[in-house]
Structure 1
Amino acid sequence: MALVAGETSGDLLAGLLLDGLRARWPDLSAVGIGGARMVERGFDAWWPSEKLAVRGYIEVLRHYREIVGIRRDLRDRLLTAAQRPDVFIGVDAPDFNLDLEAALKAEGVRTVHFVCPSIWAWRPERIEKIRRSADHVLCIFPFEPDLLAQQGIAATYVGHPLANVIPLQPDRAAAREHLGLGADETVVAILPGSRASEVQYLGRRFFEAAALMHRVRPHLRFLVPAVPALRARLEGMARDCGLGDALRIVEGQSHAVLTACDVTLIASGTATLEAALFKRPMVIAYNMNLLSWWIMRGKRLQPWVGLPNILCNDFVVPELLQEAATPGALARETLAWLDAPEKMAALQARFEALHHTLRRDTARLAADAIEKVLEG
């Protein structure tokens, strides 16, 4: 079996998927591109998932030759007799995986794509590429299989793996004890993203917003879960903003931080869904290369960007995008949650209902679907 997972969120999803696959096939051998969570489960990573952790049209262009070279080398290696997989599973990363899946499928390799590309949000032209590339799509949102079926694409709703990993009632007290936080402290979690490009465009904005909040409310504590490779960069930004002991950067532990916090200032992406499953109010922000933003904005199909808003079909949390993501606006919207306990409680109830909708036996359902693909 071969898998490709790009960036931190894909590594997390693929790791959870591997648990289900190994339960079904204990002698499973899995190779390809992956991260630490996959390697912990015996995955043979020929390249690290960080190689694919690039977002935005202009940013991708800067790394285009390297990424295309990796895809070509991986395709050629998988098509040798010794390495030919029974099935290839592309985990998210559609710009990389769909073309690879199409090439492998054309050579008779069965292909599965895990996480339906968000054709319902933007870039609907991808539907033809999905049809050409994937024998089956594993969907993490309940409305997606019907949408794909209308286009003649086989798909199965497997729930979102994170909905099973994250408890319905997170233990806030235990998380605070683990992180050395007092029960009565007011904690703001700051998550500027797991990619270098995200930190480049959002890190300083988020820390400047934290500095503004701290001036108004000196008792606030700020926690930042950092990808190890980006920790030094984030520490430098924090020092420049003069936050001192009010802000602490911890390596990893994003789930503990989201459990412990009162509110989070967070980059748009999978982490926003994690925050929703932890029932935490949030302010979603994003900023990127201006040309990439213009291109992406023209392809949007919905008014929302953040997953919690998309899934709730409403602006249940604020979104501050591109030029709107100023430190002052970020600070103002984050503090507004702390001043509205009734609104926070209503949001948490809505997120609990969402959690139940997404909670399925993902590992078993995914293994069932993959088994049917293997049976032809």
Structure 2
Amino acid sequence: MDATPAGLLFTAFERSGDEHAAPVIARLRSLHPELPIYALGGMRMQAAGATLLDLSPQHGTMLLDALGQVQTHLKRLSNLKKWLTEHRIRALIPVDSPAANWSICSLVRKTQPQAKIIHLVAPQLWAWAPWRVRKMRRLSDHALCLLPFEPAWFAQHGIQATFVGHPVFDAENEQRRIDAAHATTLPQAPMKLALLPGSRISEIKSNWPTMLAVLRELEKHHGTGNVCAAVGAADAHIADMIRTSLIPVPNESTPSSSLIVKVDATDEVLDWADVALLTSGTVSLHAAAHRKPMVILYNLNRLTWMLVGQFLMQTKTFTLPNLISEGQGLGRVVREFVPHFGEVPPLLEAVQTLLTDPAARVQQQTGITRIMQVFEGMSFADQAAGKIMELIGRP
């Protein structure tokens, strides 16, 4: 064991985990520059000040995407086990991705039982497979929750948890939204639609064809000159997938000419649009931060849902704005189609209502504004960094 002071180890295996951990690392680094911070993660965590032990995959949840990832993860565990014999840590901070992080939590429990395990972005045990709560109790000292209703649920199941706000609503991101609004080059049109199909390749494959079909139906009803849509693609690879889907197929009608694909421009696209059609996930909170009327979907295989999915899920509400609203004792505030099985007409009706009825848009915006008040005045990075330091016994 070397003489370096015991530090913190962050582990993240998805793009969102990298994004969530980075501001917390940056805040810890600025407040406690003497504290060693290590990471299995992405480039954002490294840029924030962490010493990167390994660059983890950032394309979907590890161990669930491909069997080939299992061997990679086993090798990573072996390397980490050796590293832990040489370095003491005050705390392990796993960030989301429980499928990948449980094994790391277990390794730390066995090799350094004195180390705290502090989950940043609590696993959504309340939503599905709740039997995992036993594992969570064993492999957790505290959970830092991004959603306001989560601490009460965890407390009922014997797990200590704290609501720390959400990075989407931090002041820095509010400034980014303002800058995006001023910098947009997107064209004006009577009806402007944001399409946000997700950040994972599997999500694009499942949801994008349905979104495109909704757009084409809107163009048929209202004319291509009256409808303009912009896609917020998470990265260049996803943008290429979407552009490829627009290449004309022989004997088929010409694809939409009113569709614009933007890379890493979610705020610009949302600020510009009148309405958003998006895949269920964190992006719904981005839309809420813009007070943007929205319709949310998530396509699933019908047979898989009937045989497996419906028995795993513990909630009848799936989208974050509606979950937050119901947690406050209110009803749903946005239209959600989760699970959905690809049908275009119900989505078309919901989107068309918002595009053509100003009163419907205002009603949804009022509900969104009400539920977002719980995040006001909270700094995710400050709250999370402060709680981590409190839990490891430092001022």
Q: Contact 1:4/1:32 (CA < 8 Å) preserved in 2? A: yes
Q: 1:135 to 1:209 in 2, by over 3 A?
A: same
- Letter aligned with residue 130 of structure 2: P
Aligned to 1:371: 389
What SS class does the counterpart of residue 109 from structure 2 fall into? helix
Shift of 1:137: 0.8
1:217-240 alpha-carbon deviations (Å, 9 max, x no partner) = 222111112122222111101334
The answer to whether 1:106 aligns with 2:124 is no
Q: Which residue of 2 aligns with 1:8?
A: 15
What is the distance in 1 between the residues matched to 2:52 and 2:244?
Answer: 31
1:184 CA drift (Å): 5.5
Q: 1:261 aligns with which of 254, 270, 273?
A: 273
TM-score by length of 2: 0.84
Which sits farther off after the overlay, 193-202 or 283-292? 283-292
Are 1:102 and 1:133, in contact at CA under 8 Å, matched by a contact in 2? Answer: yes
Task: Point out the more displaced range, 66-75 or 246-255.
Answer: 66-75
Matched, 1:311 2:311: no
Amino acid aligned to 2:259: L
Change (3 A) 1:142 1:198: same
Structure 1 residue 75 and structure 2 residue 86: aligned? no
The aligned amino acid for 1:127 is V
Q: Is the 8 A contact 2:177 2:267 kept in 1?
A: no
Counterpart contact for 1:112–1:370, Cα < 8 Å: yes
Counterparts of residues 154-303 of structure 1 (less than 5 Å): 154-165=160-171, 166-167=173-174, 171=178, 175=180, 178-182=183-187, 185-217=190-222, 218=224, 219-226=226-233, 227-240=235-248, 242-289=254-301, 292-293=304-305, 294-303=307-316
Alignment check: 8 A CA contact 1:17 1:363 kept: yes
Distance 1:315 1:354, change over 3 A: closer
> 1:24 aligns to what?
31
Q: Which amino acid aligns with 1:267?
A: T
Q: How far does the alpha carbon of each residue in 1:296-322 deviate from its partner, in whole angstroms, 9 at most, with x for none?
A: 321222211111111112332222235
Q: Matched residue of 2:337: which SS? A: strand
CA contact (8 A) 1:337 1:343 kept: yes
Q: Specify the alignment match of 1:144 in structure 2.
A: 150
The one-letter amino acid of 2:375's match is L
CA distance in 1, matches of 2:72, 2:301: 19
Q: What is the one-letter code of the residue matched to 1:41?
A: A
Structure 1 residue 254: Cα displacement: 1.0
The question of whether the paired residues in 1 share the 8 Å contact of 2:23 and 2:48 is answered with no
Amino acid in structure 2 at the alignment position of 1:361: S
**How much does 1:190 deviate?**
0.8
Deviation at 1:4, TM superposition (A): 1.8
Inter-partner Cα distance in structure 1 for 2:340 and 2:152: 36
Distance in 1, Cα, partners of 2:182 & 2:167: 26
CA drift of 1:198 comes to: 0.8
Cα pair distance change 1:125/1:368, threshold 3 Å:
same
Q: CA deviation at 1:250?
A: 1.1
Query: Who is 1:86 aligned against?
Result: 90
Change beyond 3 A, Cα 1:195–1:159: same
In the superposition, the TM-score normalised over structure 1's length comes to 0.88
Aligned residue type for 2:285: L
Q: CA deviation at 1:89?
A: 0.8
Deviations 1:88-141 (A, max 9, x none): 111111222133213212322321101222222222212111111111111112
- Over 3 Å counting, the alpha-carbon distance change for 1:211 and 1:62 in structure 2 is farther
Range 161-170 or range 268-277, more displaced: 161-170
For 2:198 and 2:218, locate their aligned partners in 1 and report how far apart those are by CA, in whole Å. 20
Shift of 1:183: 5.3
Q: Whole-Å Cα distance in 2 between the matches of residues 49 and 297 of structure 1?
A: 31
- Amino acid paired to 2:46: V
1:358–1:71 CA distance, 2 compared to 1 (3 A): farther
Superposed displacement of residue 19, structure 1? 2.6
Shifted more, 258-267 versus 119-128: the winner is 119-128
Letter in 1 for 2:19: L
The farther-off stretch of 273-282 and 157-166 is 157-166
Q: Distance in 2 between matches of 1:288 and 1:30?
A: 39
Contact persistence 1:223–1:249 (CA under 8 A): yes
Higher RCO, 1 or 2 (CA under 8 Å, sep at least 6)? 1
Is 1:349 aligned with 2:366? yes
How much has 1:46 moved relative to structure 2?
4.4
Q: Which runs of 5+ in 1 are unaligned?
A: none
Q: Secondary structure at the match of 2:86?
A: coil
CA 1:188/1:44 → structure 2, altered by over 3 Å: closer, same or farther?
Answer: farther
Stretch of structure 1 that moved more, 258-267 or 20-29: 20-29
For 2:191 and 2:356, the matched residues in 1 are separated by: 12
C-alpha distance in 1, partners of 2:174/2:9?
30
Contact 1:176 1:182 in 2 (8 A): no
Paired residues of 1:283 and 1:319 also in contact (CA < 8 A): yes
Structure 2 CA distance for aligned equivalents of residues 246 and 144 of structure 1: 41
